[in-house]
Structure 1
Amino acid sequence: MFCSNAQAETYQDKIKVKVFIAAMFEIGENSGDKAGEFQHWYNQYFTDSKPIKVKGAHSPVYCNSEGVCGSVLGMGKVGSSASMQAITLSPKFDFSKSYFVLSGVAGTPPSKGTIGDVSWASWLVDYDLGHRWKAEEDEKGAPTFTPRKGYEDIRRYQLNSELLKWNLHLSQSVALKDSKEASAYRMKYPDAAARRSPAITVGTHMTGDTFFHGPGLSKQAQYIAELYNADDYIITEMEAAAIAQVLNRTVGIERIMSLRGAVNFDQGNPNETTLQHLDPAPGETAGGFAETVENIVLVGSKTVDYIVDNWDVWEKGVPKFKEE
């Protein structure tokens, strides 16, 4: 039987978490103002929930009566993973059978994605954990990154392929929202993927604390993905591989999902420099942020609801996917 927040705070019972939703930042309040990464999740699942404070976590945890919990972990590798560890080790929760949705906004290369896309990760890869040097200090055109030995077990994580099949199946009929501003902005790019309407994609999510940008570093991200025998790099973000390391040490990674919405391209269009793209003139931003953060929840909630509605099966582990 699911215990109440009041009961959990007495430590007599632990909240049995079925699905934990992790966002990285919220712009203001959890409801009623401009939505960041958590607000739509909060409005869908936690409006009647009381905050549960966890020592060492960035923000309170919220849980509903169905066993769905969520929190804002903080941005970047250290902040997000520190929060995740504090929450998973807290005596207030039972994560022994939990599924995790790592959710947030991201960037995408224009050759593979567009503003408003929602992407499920097949791999999580750390952009760092290696050696880098300036291009002029090596042969022209040579890669400027090499992995550092000793990080083989933490630099990449392949997510559960069976769970990924379920994610793609459950979200295939979701109609993604778009904006006029994003639609116009896409036309600045010649790539077919960049100019299309938002879609659900799948591939490697590349985690880096540095906001890497420009065609050169985008190419390097793809090089790293190939070097690690992962799928094509499709999303740039700042947290997932670090959170996966924490979960791998505490509860395992078989039930982790990474879900990201693209709100920017990882490089400028052919008519602007990288620095110009990083510092756009008024009115020259991509647009589509509000629609993208809503798209993330439209997609992710399909999986969350399905797991909860079929918990008698899913609590035992990810069932083998069979096309319905």
Structure 2
Amino acid sequence: MNFLLLIPFLLGICLSSPIRTDKRDGVYSPNTTADSMEAGYGKPYAVFRPQVFIVSLFELEREPWVKTLDFKHNITIPGLSPLYPEIYCTTNYTICHVTTGEGEINAASTITALGLSPLFDLSKTYWLVAGIAGGVPEHTTIGGVTFAKYAVQAGLAYEIDWREIEGTNPEWNSSYFALGTKNPSSYPVNIYGTEVFELNENLRDRALELASKAKLDNGTHQNAKYRALYPQKAAKSLPAVAACDVLTSDVYFTGNYLSDYFANYSRIITNNTAKYCTSAQEDNASLEAFVRLDKFGLADYKRIVVMRTVSDFVTPPPSMANNTVEFFTNNTQGGIEASLNNLVHAGLPFVHDILEKWDAVYKEGKKYQPKNYIGDFFRTLGGKPDFGSPHYQIA
């Protein structure tokens, strides 16, 4: 980093203090009473104000962006992943890139560290979370591109070993069931708050519209052969762009029973709205960090797009329906190159649109304001969720 850039950064550290200002200026307005004080920390000495931040989750997702974009600067801040300690930025710092590390803990930790860094003012930054995922053959195929409105967290659940269930509850389709309930078909009773996140549908649709005009990588000959093993129209087709939703789980899962359960769970917890089409490991964790940052004006949750491209199927084809273990452990679906390449093919048009129309459209963000509810279960960012139950309890 240029030494001159360090001067305002060091000055900011020396002079940083709680500042009273209005949230419309990008900083949370503190509320002080006799018994409590709530203070927001502004970033008046921030050095970098990127227009777009691309978020990858691990190295293979990062490399297509590194090869495509003109990253000239490496910036290290405290709290990033030990494996991925650097943020990359283009020459004029309008586009930056971060790799979080895989899994929920890594994603939440990295986004939090980035959002709290005094080096970055992210109050007007747009975010493209761009990763690969497993795909549901009813809705997508290998190399397919999906844009989510909902992210559903699968891991907050009870689980009983299947062998302990099949003799007593043979009607159950899963050994998982929601917290506070007694069967797999009930709405959760105990809520932690990270079970569902809803994103800006208006912005999602703009990113999807732009991606639909891109030329996608159709994958390898072996990808094509593997797609043909599935009866579903979406699975058999060439890669395309779809609006459907992502499921977050630290556990890699596969198989028809689990996929059916999680598809049903996604519908239940979003009041029959979400359409589960991809499984991934990080998105709910990243979005929780963004919600917390937005509450204090350090990021704008309305400016987030979550894009997942499909690297493999989450369920076996009929020819392997009786050997899911073999499908999962020894099966080749033709490689994941198409999913990696399509991160850039589908995501770059959105990035370019932001840069080209920054002053006219994106800077103030009025054109793509959300018309739907955005945020978490707890209404942290205001509004009324279109999901939830009158009977749930905060755990």
Asked if these proteins are the same fold (TM beyond 0.5), I'd say: yes
SS class of match (1:15):
coil
Are residue 255 (structure 1) and residue 287 (structure 2) matched?
A: no
Q: Which amino acid aligns with 2:73?
A: K
Quote how far apart the aligned CAs of 1:195 are: 1.0
Instruction: Please give the residue correspondences for 1:265-284 in structure 2 after superposition, counting only pairs within 5 Å.
Output: 265-272=313-320, 273-280=323-330, 284=331
**Aligned mate of 2:195, from 127, 134, 155:** 155
Determine the C-alpha separation between the residues in 1 that align with 2:112 and 2:358: 25
Quote how far apart the aligned CAs of 1:107 are: 0.3
Quote how far apart the aligned CAs of 1:87 are: 0.9
Determine the C-alpha separation between the residues in 2 that align with 1:207 and 1:131: 16
Determine the C-alpha separation between the residues in 1 that align with 2:126 and 2:249: 24
Show the counterpart of 1:50. Answer: 73
Contact 1:20/1:70 (<8 A) preserved:
yes
Quote how far apart the aligned CAs of 1:258 are: 0.7
Quote how far apart the aligned CAs of 1:152 are: 5.3
Quote how far apart the aligned CAs of 1:109 are: 1.4
Quote how far apart the aligned CAs of 1:50 are: 2.1
Show the counterpart of 1:29. Answer: none
Determine the C-alpha separation between the residues in 2 that align with 1:102 and 1:96: 17
Are residue 91 (structure 1) and residue 118 (structure 2) matched?
A: yes
Determine the C-alpha separation between the residues in 2 that align with 1:243 and 1:159: 12
Quote how far apart the aligned CAs of 1:174 are: 1.0
Show the counterpart of 1:73. Answer: 100
Determine the C-alpha separation between the residues in 2 that align with 1:68 and 1:253: 18
Determine the C-alpha separation between the residues in 2 that align with 1:81 and 1:278: 28
SS class of match (1:227):
helix
Contact 1:21/1:102 (<8 A) preserved:
yes
Structure 1 residues 298 and 9, CA gap change in structure 2 (3 angstroms): farther
Determine the C-alpha separation between the residues in 2 that align with 1:296 and 1:223: 28
**Aligned mate of 1:304, from 337, 351, 368:** 351
Quote how far apart the aligned CAs of 1:13 are: 4.0
Q: How many positions carry a matched residue from both structures?
A: 305
Are residue 222 (structure 1) and residue 259 (structure 2) matched?
A: no
Are residue 176 (structure 1) and residue 216 (structure 2) matched?
A: yes
Show the counterpart of 1:114. Answer: 141
Show the counterpart of 2:337. Answer: 290
Are residue 145 (structure 1) and residue 162 (structure 2) matched?
A: no
Quote how far apart the aligned CAs of 1:147 are: 3.6
Give deviations 1:87-131, integer Å, cap 9, x for gaps: 111111110111111111110112221101011111111111222
Quote how far apart the aligned CAs of 1:318 are: 4.9
- Any unmatched runs of 5+ in structure 1? 27-35
Query: Which runs of at least 4 in structure 1 moved beyond 4 Å after TM superposition?
Result: 4-8
TM-score by length of 2: 0.73
Are residue 41 (structure 1) and residue 65 (structure 2) matched?
A: yes
Q: Which amino acid aligns with 1:236?
A: S
Identical amino acids, percent of aligned pairs: 26
State which drifts further: 250-259 or 92-101: 250-259
Contact 1:7/1:13 (<8 A) preserved:
no
TM-score by length of 1: 0.88
Determine the C-alpha separation between the residues in 2 that align with 1:93 and 1:104: 23
Determine the C-alpha separation between the residues in 2 that align with 1:238 and 1:8: 36
Q: State the superposition RMSD in angstroms.
A: 1.9
